[in-house]
Amino acid sequence: MYDNNPTLTGIKKEIDETKQGQVFYQEKPLENGAENSNGKHFYIESYGCQMNFSDSEIVASILSEVGFQPTRALEEADLILVNTCSIREKAEETVRKRLRIFDKIKRQRPGTMVGVLGCMAERLKSKFLEEEKLVDIVIGPDAYRDLPNLVAGAEEGERGVNVLLSREETYADISPMRLDSNGVSAFISIMRGCNNMCSFCVVPFTRGRERSRDCFSIVSEAQDLYDRGYREVTLLGQNVDSYHWQNPENEQVVNFATLLEMVAQVHPDLRVRFSTSHPKDITDEVLHTMARYENICKYIHLPVQSGNSVVLERMNRTYDREWYMERVQAIYRIIPECAISSDIIAGFCGEQEHEHQETVSMVEWANYSMSYMFFYSERPGTLAARKYPDDVPMDVKKRRLQEIVNMQNQVSLRHNKADVGKTFKVLIEGDSKKSDKEFKGRNSQNKMIVFPKLDNLKPGDYAWVKVTGATSATLIGEISFP
């Protein structure tokens, strides 16, 4: 659920997390900006998963309603917001470092307001105001509608907290302000919260109970995006397979397979992706739906976390190695061209060497196209923190992580090399990082392909690209049919 670059290993990711969040801005001014504007600007930086990035777009929309306009220039901001992540200790450290910098700005420009949003706000609540003296607003993921009130209070010098979690809030009626967008792909949140209790995970505490969003509002958001030129939507939830929405009018229940089909029917040229699937919940019905629609991308992020059944039990993942392998086999059987990726935690409480080796072997067996890999970071208040000692020494965690990363790199290279000579339908996202003479885009399997431009093509177009070369990170190709 992070960056989509297949080179991104857990180690690199940890570095990235400390280096930067992503700055959101909108290239064009708001359409109604002039009449609605209060002359003030907000700046928002986001950390963590796609859900957080998606939430920042909801926050931007809420703020624009009360006249604030987005800016990417910190020095222009009247309101500085940071949407935070608590998933690992490093993620929280990064945010604290950023807050030090915002403190300096605030001292130089009194009157600038600083707000902390998201999972860390939810976890630390009012402690934040005690610990970080210059923070004005602390607001949790379910309380964003209250942001204008808290901002108004902050303008009067009041420091405010709202970290109430909700059982209903889905922000279904709020049309997200697409920020920092390539105009081609967008996220759509389909549910919030999580009812699983993976013992290592802080998300159920920071995001509250699981709830699903009205399917019709999801479809109309997808339709609207398509009408505005977008060609790819990613349906977001911590556990999309447990999507469950009951129509209050006729009591009919919509599950994830049905929702996928509804979104796929918006237009054959609108690609549909989703994240994250939970191995215990992904059904054959979903797999058959994927197989039936060309525009549902043949890519599943199916985090295994560990390849060993005993560790999985301590993690409270509620599946074992055999169950997971059966699900992987079902995917490859029903959708032979599907790519699978994973999240993996090295060095969880009590993990033995042979248990770790089963994780390494799983990477190879499942043939992941890529994985996000992390070493275990104990989170206060979680089941694991209460129940199991964090007893794998740091050097062992790091060594095991490196072994998993090495195996994944080999498997990714093998996976990519197997694509050389094949031709894929690629959705063009924009210029490649290295050259404006090249485009980058993804195939259905979510692999980035870089290829020389042709004049008549532009971002948002599809092209047929033949793969001519591969590294463990990227495919290189040439257009075979525009």
Q: Residues interacting with ligand SAH, by CB under 6 A? A: 1, 87-88, 200-201, 203, 238-239, 276, 278, 303, 305, 343, 345, 374, 376-377, 379
Closer CB to ligand F3S, 207 or 273, in the complex = 207
Contact predicate 105/80, CB 8 Å: yes
Number of residues that bind ligand SF4 (CB under 6 A): 9
**Helix, strand, or coil here: 478?**
strand
Name the binder of 52 from ligand F3S, ligand SAH, ligand SF4, none, CB < 5-8 A by kind.
Answer: ligand F3S
Binding span for ligand SF4 by CB under 6 A among 65-73, 127-135, 192-200, 464-472 = 192-200
Binding mask 55-94 for ligand F3S (x = CB under 6 A): ------------------------------xxx-------
Q: Does 202 bind ligand F3S (CB under 6 A)?
A: yes
Alpha carbon of 463 to those of 293, 304, 428, 429, 448: distances in Å? Answer: 19, 33, 7, 11, 13
Binding mask 14-33 for ligand F3S (x = CB under 6 A): --------------------
Contact predicate 53/209, CB 8 Å: no
Among candidates 103, 136, 102, which has minimal Cα distance to 121? 136
Tell whether the torsion through CA atoms of 451, 457, 461 and 466 is positive or negative: negative
Closer CB to ligand F3S, 85 or 346, in the complex = 85
Binding mask 214-253 for ligand SF4 (x = CB under 6 A): ------------------------xx--------------
- Rounded to the nearest 10 degrees, how much is the dihedral formed by the CA atoms of 414, 417, 423, 429? 80
Q: How far is the CB of 351 from ligand SAH (least distance, A)?
A: 12
Q: How far is the CB of 361 from ligand SAH (least distance, A)?
A: 18
Query: Of the candidates 116, 203, 312, 345, which one interacts with ligand SF4 according to CB under 6 A?
Result: 203
Angle at 138 between CA 136 and CA 139, to 5 degrees: 135
Closer CB to ligand SF4, 200 or 299, in the complex = 200
Contact predicate 187/54, CB 8 Å: yes
Q: Does 198 bind ligand F3S (CB under 6 A)?
A: no
**Helix, strand, or coil here: 35?**
helix
- Whether residue 94 is preceded by a cis peptide bond, meaning omega within 30 degrees of 0, is no
3-state helix, strand, coil in the chain (%, to 5): 35, 20, 40
Query: Of the candidates 52, 162, 277, 472, which one interacts with ligand F3S according to CB under 6 A?
Result: 52
Alpha carbon of 390 to those of 91, 344, 350, 378: distances in Å? Answer: 19, 17, 7, 7
One DSSP character per residue, 141-156 reads TT-GGGHHHHHHHHHT
Q: Does 196 bind ligand SF4 (CB under 6 A)?
A: yes
Among candidates 326, 394, 398, which has minimal Cα distance to 366? 326
Q: How far is the CB of 118 from ligand F3S (least distance, A)?
A: 6
Please give the DSSP secondary-structure letter assigned to residue 136. Answer: -
Q: Which two tokens stand for residue 64?
A: 């624009």
Name the binder of 204 from ligand SF4, ligand SAH, ligand F3S, none, CB < 5-8 A by kind.
Answer: ligand SF4
Q: Does 201 bind ligand SF4 (CB under 6 A)?
A: yes
Q: Does 270 bind ligand SF4 (CB under 6 A)?
A: no
Closer CB to ligand SAH, 306 or 432, in the complex = 306
Contact predicate 122/165, CB 8 Å: yes
Closer CB to ligand SF4, 345 or 449, in the complex = 345
Site residues, ligand SF4 (CB under 6 A): 194, 196, 198, 201, 203-204, 238-239, 278
